[in-house]
């Protein structure tokens, strides 16, 4: 906070209501006024700038510095990660490796309950971790339809499955971004990552059972119980270990690959007595050699290896002050402001993904640098608007933090006292439902959660985690997710039908997160 007081009106209720104008207006723009996200974000950036400077007395230089700092962080490292992740995915698709990869998964078993676990859960989680931004919903839903699932059924199942992985989409950006927000209590992205391990494992373990229940009832759970247990246990335990020891970057990728590989090996020795087929007819799939399958997976295990290296403390230590590679970190002061910003040229996670892309292009004859660069330009063209939107929202978050608006809202919310943790996940749920993004949700509301936590004496990392997990439950029914899912399966126009199909599961999961967060707040 760079202002003298967060209560410029000498009345906390009035100050907090004024401070909440950017958030309320943003939500109204997206719902009542039905504005596009980019226009809503830019309009609210201007409004927040004016409120911060003229009503909360944030100096002009600091106001400009706040917006510039937010824009820089939106481009680097966030935008950098998004572009690199999608570029890698598109390179895999263009090379034909992705088709082999999909066939290798679908061909493991003809039982469609097991195909749902392999594709709808494991592969869905992997794509969420590798690319995010609707990619897993679109691809996995289409693949399930090609295997005989009904279109809206496939979309519903993929949306529900995404509840286990949405918190760590696109190389962990939703949690990773919290480390750029200068949260009260010095809450880091690692703190939030570790705190998610108290809630997400319960959800992760449950969702595979729920998926099978939805297509084949309790009979189906009984018949494929060993396979469900393999997936649930492997994914849940491995994600908990990754989030506790390594952080958010690989929290989807490593667990999903382990669960996928473990289940594939298990199914070589075990198959259910009754092969379940939705249409009583198995879909024939093209078979590929082991060598081709290994090559098809190469872009993604390269991604995992490089991101793993980038996450190692020893590697990160090379970029600290006075060490061998500290010169690759550019630090500069915002003009006319006390604020600083930095660009990590090599240590940024996006660089690890870039290496995976370059090696994939070099080792793939059908791509080459010319076609690879064309794919890069296509990715930038398609994603520059979402990245500008993220920059604007980060600018809003910075203005609200440095201008004292976040503190004003946090102080007022804290008036609910020890009851607030019960409501904390709902704030995240609303944020994602409106913005369609856990990243944007955490950017807007994580500072408020952290401030409220410090005031009421609850672990602020717990509340930021609750904001993340509660928001993830809203991804199941956010308008963007629904639109992507219906479009992918050729059911555009039936968004309301799909929303009704998924809504009760989103609300049930949210209710659990609310109650569990309240229990944790009493124990921690």
Q: How big is the chain by its Cα radius of gyration, in Å? A: 23
Asked if 212 and 259 count as a contact pair (C-beta separation under 8 A), the reply is no
Separation between Cα atoms, residue 337 and residue 237, nearest integer Å: 46
Of the candidates 241, 214, 248, the one whose C-alpha atom is nearest the C-alpha of residue 508 is: 214
Q: Which two tokens stand for residue 326?
A: 């500290």
DSSP state of 216: H
Separation between Cα atoms, residue 395 and residue 444, nearest integer Å: 10
Asked if 25 and 18 count as a contact pair (C-beta separation under 8 A), the reply is no
Structure-token match 């996940």, residue found = 425
* Nearest-10 crossing angle of helices 438-456, 21-30: 150
Of the candidates 295, 310, 343, the one whose C-alpha atom is nearest the C-alpha of residue 171 is: 310
DSSP state of 458: S
* Nearest-10 crossing angle of helices 460-474, 420-435: 40
Q: How many other C-beta atoms lie within 10 A of the C-beta of residue 429? A: 28
What are residue 342's phi and psi, to 5 degrees?
A: -145, 155
SS3 343: strand
Of the candidates 319, 302, 171, 137, the one whose C-alpha atom is nearest the C-alpha of residue 246 is: 171
Q: Which two tokens stand for residue 475?
A: 């991804």
Of the candidates 121, 229, 207, the one whose C-alpha atom is nearest the C-alpha of residue 508 is: 207
Q: How many other C-beta atoms lie within 10 A of the C-beta of residue 1? A: 18
Separation between Cα atoms, residue 200 and residue 207, nearest integer Å: 11
Q: What sign for the dihedral angle of Cα 275, 278, 280, 281?
A: negative
Question: For every one of its 524 residues, what pLDDT tens digit does the chain have, with 9 covering 90 and above?
Answer: 788 888 999 998 999 899 989 878 877 887 688 788 788 889 989 999 999 999 999 999 999 999 999 899 888 877 887 788 778 888 988 998 878 877 787 778 888 899 999 989 998 998 888 767 677 887 788 788 878 889 999 999 999 999 999 989 878 889 988 888 888 888 999 999 999 999 999 999 999 999 999 999 999 999 999 999 999 999 999 999 999 998 898 899 899 999 999 998 999 889 898 888 887 666 666 778 888 888 888 887 888 788 778 877 788 889 988 888 999 999 988 888 989 988 989 988 789 889 999 999 999 988 889 999 999 999 898 878 878 877 888 888 889 888 988 788 878 877 888 888 998 998 888 778 766 678 878 887 898 899 889 888 899 999 999 999 999 998 888 776 787 788 778 787 787 888 888 889 999 999 999 999 999 999 98
468 Cβ contact list (under 8 Å, min separation 6): 167, 174, 175, 178, 192, 196, 428, 438, 441, 442, 446
SS3 203: helix
pTM to 2 decimal places? 0.75
Q: Concatenated DSSP letters for 68-131?
A: HHHHHHIIIIIIHHHHHHHHHHHHHHHHTHHHHHHHHHHTT-S-HHHHIIIIIIIIHHHHHHHT
- CA torsion 480-137-121-277 (nearest 10°) is 120
Q: Which two tokens stand for residue 53?
A: 């400077």
**Vertex 371, ends 369 and 372: CA angle to 5°?**
55
Asked if 137 and 154 count as a contact pair (C-beta separation under 8 A), the reply is no
Q: Please give the distance of CA 69 from its chain centroid, rounded to a whole number.
A: 22
CA atoms within 13 A on the CB side of 374: 6
Kindly report, residue by residue over 125-157, the tens digit of the pLDDT.
988 887 676 778 877 887 888 788 899 999 999
Separation between Cα atoms, residue 154 and residue 518, nearest integer Å: 34
Separation between Cα atoms, residue 488 and residue 231, nearest integer Å: 26
Longest Cα separation, the chain: 72
């Amino acid at each position: 906070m760079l202002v003298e007081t967060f209560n410029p009106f000498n009345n906390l209720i009035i100050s907090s209501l004024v401070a909440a104008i950017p958030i309320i207006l943003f939500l109204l723009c997206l719902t009542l006024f039905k504005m596009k996200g980019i226009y809503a974000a830019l309009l609210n950036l201007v409004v927040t700038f004016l409120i911060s400077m003229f009503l909360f007395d944030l100096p002009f230089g600091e106001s400009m510095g706040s917006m510039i700092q937010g824009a820089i962080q939106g481009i680097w490292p966030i935008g950098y990660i998004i572009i690199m992740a999608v570029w890698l995915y598109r390179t895999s698709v263009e090379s034909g490796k992705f088709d082999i990869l999909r066939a290798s998964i679908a061909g493991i078993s003809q039982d469609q309950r097991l195909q749902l676990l392999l594709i709808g859960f494991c592969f869905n989680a992997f794509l969420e971790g590798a690319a995010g931004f609707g990619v897993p919903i679109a691809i996995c839903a289409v693949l399930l339809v090609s295997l005989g699932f009904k279109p809206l059924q496939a979309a519903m199942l993929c949306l529900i499955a995404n509840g286990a992985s949405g918190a760590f989409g696109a190389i962990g950006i939703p949690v990773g971004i919290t480390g750029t927000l200068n949260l009260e209590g010095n809450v880091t992205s690692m703190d939030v990552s570790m705190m998610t391990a108290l809630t997400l494992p319960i959800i992760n373990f449950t969702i595979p059972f729920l998926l099978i229940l939805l297509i084949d009832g309790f009979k189906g759970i009984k018949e494929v119980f060993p396979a469900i247990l393999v997936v649930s246990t492997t994914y849940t335990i491995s994600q908990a270990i990754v989030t506790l020891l390594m952080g958010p970057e690989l929290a989807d990728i490593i667990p999903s690959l382990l669960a996928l590989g473990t289940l594939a090996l298990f199914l070589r020795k075990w198959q259910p007595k009754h092969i379940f087929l939705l249409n009583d007819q198995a879909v024939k799939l093209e078979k590929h050699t082991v060598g081709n399958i290994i090559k098809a997976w190469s872009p993604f295990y390269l991604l995992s290896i490089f991101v793993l290296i980038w996450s190692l403390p020893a590697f990160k230590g090379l970029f600290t002050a006075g060490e061998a590679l500290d010169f690759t970190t550019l630090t500069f002061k915002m003009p006319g402001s006390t604020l600083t910003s930095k660009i990590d040229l090599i240590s940024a996670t996006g660089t690890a993904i870039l290496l995976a892309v370059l090696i994939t292009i070099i080792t793939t004859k059908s791509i080459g640098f010319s076609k690879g660069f064309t794919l890069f330009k296509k990715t930038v063209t398609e994603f520059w608007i979402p990245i500008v939107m993220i920059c604007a929202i980060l600018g809003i978050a910075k203005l609200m933090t440095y201008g004292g608006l976040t503190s004003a809202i946090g102080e007022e919310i804290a008036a609910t006292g020890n009851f607030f943790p019960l409501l904390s996940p709902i704030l995240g749920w609303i944020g994602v439902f409106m913005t369609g993004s856990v990243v944007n949700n955490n950017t807007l509301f994580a500072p408020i959660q952290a401030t409220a936590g410090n005031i009421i004496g609850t672990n602020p990392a717990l509340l930021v985690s609750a904001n993340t997990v509660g928001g993830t439950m809203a991804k199941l029914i956010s308008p963007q997710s629904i639109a992507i899912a219906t479009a992918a399966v050729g059911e555009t126009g039936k968004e309301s039908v799909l929303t009704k199909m998924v809504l009760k599961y989103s609300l049930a999961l949210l209710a659990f997160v609310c109650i569990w967060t309240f229990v944790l707040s009493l124990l921690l």
